[in-house]
Structure 1
Amino acid sequence: MWLVALAVGLVGLAVSAFDLGPQIFGALGAVVVGTAYTFALAHRTGGRPLIFGSLAGVAGLVVVLVDNEALRTGAAVLVASVAAVLAVMATVPSRRFPKTIREAFIAVGIAALGSFAALGFEPVVMVSRFEYATLACSLAIAFFAVYRLGAGLHGLGRRGAIVVGIGGLMLALTLIYAEMLRRYGSTGLIDSIDEMQRWCRLHIGGYPHPIQALFGVPALVWGTHMRSRRRQGWWVCLFGVALTAPVASTFLNPDVGLAEAGLSVVYSILVGLVIAFVIIRIDLALTGSTAGGSGRRAAREADEASAVRPEPGRTHALL
């Protein structure tokens, strides 16, 4: 049902984007997409989809009717945040590394549609503030969802708690460092970074974003791989919103074209996959099976055969 609503909303957004009808179609399309995503997220996480979906729809209509700048901007942040979290929640466990790559691209696609919907509200934003607000809201929503899916904090275990704690601390420090650099960095350093970005844009069409490449992609890929063995993998997937939240904010940046945005995400995924592959190999070396024959290939096959933790399908409720 929500997939049909999503398709209808996307049609409305497309009609408005290509000037094929009244501009109100864009706002109404954004409301429908936001409602569909909210319904899907509540359904996926075992909540009350009818209640939350209805609330999202009513709130969206109020925003459209009132036509207040602050309300439109707030609605855009919430839609982008819900899209970012749904993108992570919609992934499925993957025993093999190539399938985790598929999950990363599916998550990016879901988040990108959410960015399209957020743009439909025509928010008035400072790009950096919008991105920070979306990331913060996404992390908060994802935390409460993962808290249920990952058996609470006590389900982490000592090693899991260390991994999540270090990951959260590094993400916070990276964001703080990036903001401090943007505000107080030396002119020479800022010019060097800008020059490198311009070179990448000119020669390869885009550049990898550190938050996505260093945190978002490795967390999502490693988390989906871990979930095929242990549900604690959901806690690692929590940081996957560092990939999907920036994607859900992409269309709100008028300085970035569609081609550049797409290539930048691809480059971020490629860099992140290398990091994720190394992390997964280390994880398997520390926790994987040592039985099933001699040699690395035999051990890997034994690990994949033992990864039998089931999860419901992509569109089914997890709880």
Structure 2
Amino acid sequence: MTTPTPLYPLLVVRSILAVLAVGIVLLGVAVAEVGPAWLDRAGGVAVATAYAGLLAMRTGGRPLVFGVGALVFGVAGALLAELGPVTGVAHDLAVILTTGGSVGTAVVTAVLAVMLTTPAVRTLRAMLEVLVAYAIAGVGSLAVVSFRPQLDTERFDYAALALAFALGFVLVFRLGAGWHGLGRRGLLVVLGGSAVLAVSVAYAELLRHYGTPELVDAIDRSVRWTRDTIGAVPRPLQVLIGVPALLWGCHMRARRRQGWWVCVFGCAATGSVATTLTNPGTTWLEAGLIPLYSLVLGVVLGYLVIRVDLALTGQRGSRARAVERERAVRPEPSRLQPLL
């Protein structure tokens, strides 16, 4: 008999959740434009602290160390920024701390949203897990913008996305039992997902810088028409990579450990949501519609991927599939317990 894994200290979990609740309340008050102007920074620091602690706890680290570190970093940047106009070294330090805190919060948010998902035997449950990840990323996006980063939007997005994938792959390497836990199928998923991600980003950049004026103008017109018609434009990274990968990964994790290698590509969705509000031209309505449209389209694509996967590798017949679902219960710790 195996000894059950002891529950993580309840006091630590409750403390982190209490800090998170305070941060959400402060951010909500700031969005409603009630109270002093520094409430958004305070709420952002609280959420960043809680998220850092949760990620450390979930991945077997030291939540107190990482949580306090995020708190000190965030408070230092907020205090320097709130002191008023400063010049010289103080100004440069304030920019580094606030922008670095914003990027760090985006990275932690993207990875945490994926790590807090749980295996899903059925597709409907996998959809609920994607909603949980989006909710976590949505709160994180408010914390990200509360630091008021001073960085080009495109550079910010790419930096956060690259760092999120780097951290996600390091953590999943441990959760997926290293390279020998990858298997041939997992290797194909990682190589294929990486290729699609690289081609998507490279194509967008090549089109932006080297596309013909007619083509760029046609794309801009279609984007403006879509925004004027339905209020927002879905993000390709979320629709084509992030949401389908997270949906399929949660579904696969109930059956095989390799599902973690699929889930890590969900950072394309959660990272994109976390950085949505950093674009000053994005309204609150548009910031809500972008992930909504992306989520709906991505779930449809992810559902099709799951059906194809089950058709190729699953059992034939309704009775055999019912038996497969009953046996597809690969145990993982609960949402607020360490995975390692």
- Pairwise CA distance, 1:72: 0.8
SS at match of 2:169: helix
The one-character-per-residue Cα deviations of 1:236-284 (angstroms, maximum 9, x if unpaired) are 0000000000100011112122222222222212222222122212222
Q: TM-score, normalised by structure 1?
A: 0.94
Identify the residue that residue 130 of structure 1 maps to in structure 2: 156
Matched, 1:303 2:327: no
- Pairwise CA distance, 1:12: 2.3
Note if contact 2:41-2:146 (Cα within 8 Å) is conserved in structure 1.
Answer: yes
The one-character-per-residue Cα deviations of 1:99-130 (angstroms, maximum 9, x if unpaired) are 11111111111011111011111112321111
TM-aligned CA distance change 1:50 to 1:19, over 3 Å: same
Q: Which amino acid aligns with 1:28?
A: A
Note if contact 2:73-2:97 (Cα within 8 Å) is conserved in structure 1.
Answer: no
Note if contact 2:243-2:269 (Cα within 8 Å) is conserved in structure 1.
Answer: yes
Matched, 1:317 2:338: yes
Matched, 1:224 2:250: yes
Alpha-carbon distance between aligned partners in 2 of 1:56 and 1:288, rounded to the nearest angstrom: 45
In structure 2, which of residues 65, 68, 91 is the aligned counterpart of residue 51 of structure 1?
A: 65
Identify the residue that residue 265 of structure 2 maps to in structure 1: 239
Aligned CA-pair RMSD: 1.4
In structure 1, which of residues 111, 121, 141 is the aligned counterpart of residue 167 of structure 2?
A: 141
Identify the residue that residue 206 of structure 1 maps to in structure 2: 232
Alpha-carbon distance between aligned partners in 1 of 2:27 and 2:325, rounded to the nearest angstrom: 43
Alpha-carbon distance between aligned partners in 2 of 1:29 and 1:267, rounded to the nearest angstrom: 27
Identify the residue that residue 274 of structure 1 maps to in structure 2: 300
The one-character-per-residue Cα deviations of 1:16-57 (angstroms, maximum 9, x if unpaired) are 333322222222221111010000001111111111111111
Q: Which amino acid aligns with 2:27?
A: L
SS at match of 1:164: helix
TM-aligned CA distance change 1:269 to 1:299, over 3 Å: farther
Note if contact 2:74-2:97 (Cα within 8 Å) is conserved in structure 1.
Answer: no
Matched, 1:91 2:117: yes
The one-character-per-residue Cα deviations of 1:124-148 (angstroms, maximum 9, x if unpaired) are 2321111111111111111111111
Alpha-carbon distance between aligned partners in 1 of 2:100 and 2:74, rounded to the nearest angstrom: 10
Identify the residue that residue 100 of structure 2 maps to in structure 1: 74
Stretch of structure 1 that moved more, 299-308 or 154-163: 299-308
In structure 2, which of residues 209, 212, 227 is the aligned counterpart of residue 183 of structure 1?
A: 209
Stretch of structure 1 that moved more, 145-154 or 276-285: 276-285
In structure 2, which of residues 17, 24, 28 is the aligned counterpart of residue 10 of structure 1?
A: 24
Alpha-carbon distance between aligned partners in 1 of 2:199 and 2:164, rounded to the nearest angstrom: 18
Q: Which amino acid aligns with 2:73?
A: A
- Pairwise CA distance, 1:220: 0.2
Identify the residue that residue 35 of structure 1 maps to in structure 2: 49
Matched, 1:153 2:179: yes
After TM superposition, the runs of 4+ consecutive aligned structure 1 residues lying more than 4 A away are none
Alpha-carbon distance between aligned partners in 2 of 1:143 and 1:66, rounded to the nearest angstrom: 34
Alpha-carbon distance between aligned partners in 2 of 1:19 and 1:53, rounded to the nearest angstrom: 28
- Pairwise CA distance, 1:165: 0.9
- Pairwise CA distance, 1:235: 0.5
Alpha-carbon distance between aligned partners in 2 of 1:165 and 1:11, rounded to the nearest angstrom: 41
Q: Which amino acid aligns with 1:283?
A: D
SS at match of 1:308: coil
Q: TM-score, normalised by structure 2?
A: 0.89
Alpha-carbon distance between aligned partners in 1 of 2:99 and 2:134, rounded to the nearest angstrom: 22
Identify the residue that residue 135 of structure 2 maps to in structure 1: 109
In structure 1, which of residues 195, 199, 203 is the aligned counterpart of residue 221 of structure 2?
A: 195
The one-character-per-residue Cα deviations of 1:272-313 (angstroms, maximum 9, x if unpaired) are 2222122212222232234xxxx3x22321221121111111
Where structure 1 has 5 or more consecutive residues not aligned to the other structure, the ranges are none
Identical-pair percentage = 50
Where structure 2 has 5 or more consecutive residues not aligned to the other structure, the ranges are 1-14, 82-93
Q: Which amino acid aligns with 2:118?
A: V
Alpha-carbon distance between aligned partners in 2 of 1:90 and 1:201, rounded to the nearest angstrom: 32
Q: Which amino acid aligns with 1:61?
A: V
Stretch of structure 1 that moved more, 177-186 or 9-18: 9-18
